[in-house]
Chains A and B, each alone.
Chain A
Amino acid sequence: NAGVMQNPRHLVRRRGQEARLRCSPMKGHSHVYWYRQLPEEGLKFMVYLQKENIIDESGMPKERFSAEFPKEGPSILRIQQVVRGDSAAYFCASPTGGNTGELFFGEGSRLTVL
């Protein structure tokens, strides 16, 4: 079980550029949750997706942020025209299966906006 795979682990962008973060859930699973963790803060829910479908995007900022989970390939969190305030760790999580309710987190992608 390779767990939840996220890449890149670290990403540096200049203001105005685009950032793309990728997440592959646990093998055999088709649901992912994206969370954002600002420096020294908690985990804020952003979006919940299953393949080809956005289930809950209530935590997504209204502008510049989008997420998708295509039929083939990883889920992608896309941030357009990044600003310094977007600097954070972005975690992806996958349900572990069964009916436990547990979410298993990836190692995160740390975005730094210069």
Chain B
Amino acid sequence: GENVEQHPSTLSVQEGDSAVIKCTYSDSASNYFPWYKQELGKRPQLIIDIRSNVGEKKDQRIAVTLNKTAKHFSLHITETQPEDSAVYFCAVAGSSNTGKLIFGQGTTLQVKP
């Protein structure tokens, strides 16, 4: 089945710096790549997603890039703020057509004021 690896597991940046989180996946037929943010004790919430027919997508300070050949995609957060501190999960919807998402292990981002 699909395997999703996420790095780094923890990331600490100064406020205003950029943060980059990377994920690799194994199933070349995967076609949907969302990123979720989870604050402590809360539900995971979608922050941005990308489909396999697009290489890059941006929404204000957040961007996602996809390299289908290399089977990896990345989350970029610019001008980080303390409220960006959370756990971020990448996910992949595989080729099974069930809509099931397979998640990475998560990255704990700490933005220091």
**A residues with CB within 8 A of B:** 31, 33, 35, 41-45, 48, 55-56, 58, 91, 95, 100-108
* CA of A45 to CA of B89, assembled, Å: 14
Partner of B104, one of A42, A58, A100, A102: A42
**B residues with CB within 8 A of A:** 1, 6, 32, 34, 36, 42-46, 49, 51, 89, 93, 96, 98-106
Which of chain B's residues has its CB closest to A107's CB? B43
Contact A43 B43 (CB under 8 A): no
Contact B93 A105 (CB under 8 A): no
Contact A45 B99 (CB under 8 A): no
Task: Jot down 14 A-B pairs with beta carbons below 8 A, ordered by A.
Answer: A33-B101, A45-B100, A45-B101, A45-B103, A48-B99, A55-B98, A56-B96, A56-B98, A56-B100, A100-B49, A101-B93, A102-B34, A104-B46, A105-B44
Q: Which residues of A contact B34 (CB under 8 A)?
A: 101-103
Contact B106 A42 (CB under 8 A): yes
Which of chain B's residues has its CB closest to A91's CB? B43
Q: A43 with B49: in contact, given A56-B100, A101-B32, A108-B43 (CB under 8 Å)?
A: no
Q: A42 with B45: in contact, given A48-B99, A55-B98, A56-B98 (CB under 8 Å)?
A: no
Smallest CB-CB A-B distances: 9 pairs: A101-B32, A105-B43, A43-B103, A42-B105, A42-B106, A42-B103, A107-B43, A105-B44, A56-B98
Contact A91 B1 (CB under 8 A): no
- Give the shortest distance, in Å, between B8 (CB) and chain A (any CB): 14
Contact A31 B100 (CB under 8 A): no
* CA of A111 to CA of B113, assembled, Å: 34
Q: Which residues of A contact B93 (CB under 8 A)?
A: 101
* CA of A106 to CA of B44, assembled, Å: 8
Q: A106 with B43: in contact, given A42-B104, A48-B99 (CB under 8 Å)?
A: yes
